[in-house]
Structure 1
Amino acid sequence: MSTVQSVERSLSILEILSKYPEGIRLTELSSQLGLAKSTTHRLLLTLMHRNFVKQDERSELYSLGMQVVTLASSVLNNIDIRGVAHASIVELAQKTNEVVHLCIKDDDEVIYIDKVDSDRTIRMFSQVGRRVNMHCTGVGKVMLANLPIKEVKEIISKKGLPQFTPSTITDETALFEHLEIVKEQGYAIDEMEHEELIAAVAAPIYDYNNKVIAAISIAGPNQRITKERIKAELIDLILETSHNISQKMGYLGKTN
């Protein structure tokens, strides 16, 4: 096994483990890797020695170790937008008593770089560091709406338009029509398109070049994030917050 091959396989292990926060068995992991269990186990032992992977003694499930958190925190702490936006999204979460996310586009996906929980417990897919497709979330759609059409087509070609719920937009023409509306109104609504029973409203964040560099969202159960509440309260709040953050990033444009 060459050094490069070992690194490639080790990175693949970390990528797979990131999708299983509660852990995965050796058999399933080796199957996804397309490697023998003995080979996978050897790689895991090395990663465990460096604290990139841990194994639960009782369940024998493998999951990401604290060294990954350390490295991720180092990267996140050096992302200016996160530090600039944090106080604003905390305030927004307090005003709405709902979960607020801060996301950026990375490798043609949405990645959550900050999250402020509400006082009301809710089980959601989102967590800092998690990646999702762009077409099925409010934050992803506001970022797509501000990209050149050619780039959006390239993302669709690369990532596809997979369906996550009955509400997911899976038709390219329908998506482009939807993105036109999003761009015109300056915000996007996620109507349970990625997670069933979870709705959200999202708005873009601009930098000094008038370029969309991130997005924020207010998310929660569809019983609370209703169309009526979005229209009456949440749109104004999220646009105000996104504009304030944009101004701190040097944006000189007007509010929506």
Structure 2
Amino acid sequence: MVDGGRPSNARDDGIQVLRRAAAALDEIATAPGRLRLVDLHSRLGLAKSTTRRLLVGLVEVGFAAVDDDGRIVLGERLLGLANADAAHITSAFRSTLERVAEATGETVDLSVYRGGQMLFIDQIESPHRLRAVSAIGGRFTLPDTANGKAALALFDDADVDQVLAALDAAEAERVRAEIRMVRTDRVAFDRDEHTDGISAAGIAGRAAGGNIVAISVPAPTERFNAHRDRIVAALHDALASPVWTSRSQI
């Protein structure tokens, strides 16, 4: 079959290269400055020569960089694009975060799915002296956080299984059961899972550009439990915001 004068297998080869590049960038983003070529080769499961060519290409276009010790980081060109994207998302969601913060009196976090983790890009801090605060630019895992589980609820089952593969069977099944509930109730919970003494609720959906974006409300567990219904109601209200483009599965 021919598409625009090019064989379909050439198009498929191009898609495969893009998928490999995306997978490589995901691995680099997950462990910035900690991977060398041999580590990337192992994680991707590709031939070392293929991984080397892929890395050289990413470096040439500014999507990756390698320091003097051979450690790989994301490139300045890609970081510039990511920062511009994050700034756009932050601006679009700011008023929604403010409404949630006003309704709950708690810290409200905004995060976006990047490289297999949730990247925190904005926050409104609670006025309480005892409050939960996460650093902007911090990355949180998916299976033990409210925003992460809310994001996982947007994945199809095969992708969820891939994320949960590192967990033991009982824990993975517990998280799967939670995700099934999130798909119905729209709100995910972290009950002292990620950080002892801190609980959270979160929602997620699609935003401009197809980004998976989450809003979460963390608080000291005792206060969270006392005001859980108010927090959940505020998050349900946030789901009605026009800033979301879709909240259906990927």
| Structure-1-length-normalised TM-score | 0.59
For residue 101 of structure 1, what is the aligned residue in structure 2?
A: 110
The alignment partner of 2:172 has SS state of coil
- Paired residues in the alignment total 218
Alignment map for 1:61-80 (pairs within 5 Å) = 61-76=71-86
Alignment map for 1:161-200 (pairs within 5 Å) = 162=164, 169-171=171-173, 175=177, 179=181, 183=185, 187-193=187-193, 195=194, 197=196, 199-200=198-199
From the superposition, tell whether residues 191 and 29 of structure 1 become closer, same or farther in structure 2 (CA, over 3 Å).
Answer: same
For residue 234 of structure 2, what is the aligned residue in structure 1?
A: 240
Deviation at 1:9, TM superposition (A): 3.7
From the superposition, tell whether residues 188 and 38 of structure 1 become closer, same or farther in structure 2 (CA, over 3 Å).
Answer: closer
2:28 is aligned with 1:17: yes
Q: Conserved in 2, the CA contact under 8 Å of 1:182 and 1:188?
A: no
Q: Aligned equivalents of 1:174 and 1:42: distance in 2?
A: 38
What is the RMSD computed on CA atoms of the aligned residues? 4.8
From the superposition, tell whether residues 165 and 15 of structure 1 become closer, same or farther in structure 2 (CA, over 3 Å).
Answer: closer
Q: Aligned equivalents of 1:43 and 1:206: distance in 2?
A: 32
Q: Conserved in 1, the CA contact under 8 Å of 2:217 and 2:231?
A: no
Gaps of 5+ in 2: 1-9, 207-211, 245-250
From the superposition, tell whether residues 246 and 165 of structure 1 become closer, same or farther in structure 2 (CA, over 3 Å).
Answer: same
Residue by residue over 1:109-146, the C-alpha shift from the partner in whole angstroms, topping out at 9 and shown as x without a partner, is: 8855743275989677x957x6854x54323555777x
The alignment partner of 2:57 has SS state of helix
Residue by residue over 1:18-49, the C-alpha shift from the partner in whole angstroms, topping out at 9 and shown as x without a partner, is: 21123311221122233454543343233222
Deviation at 1:77, TM superposition (A): 5.5
Q: Aligned equivalents of 2:197 and 2:166: distance in 1?
A: 12
From the superposition, tell whether residues 156 and 246 of structure 1 become closer, same or farther in structure 2 (CA, over 3 Å).
Answer: closer
Q: Conserved in 2, the CA contact under 8 Å of 1:52 and 1:67?
A: yes
Q: State the identity as a percent.
A: 22
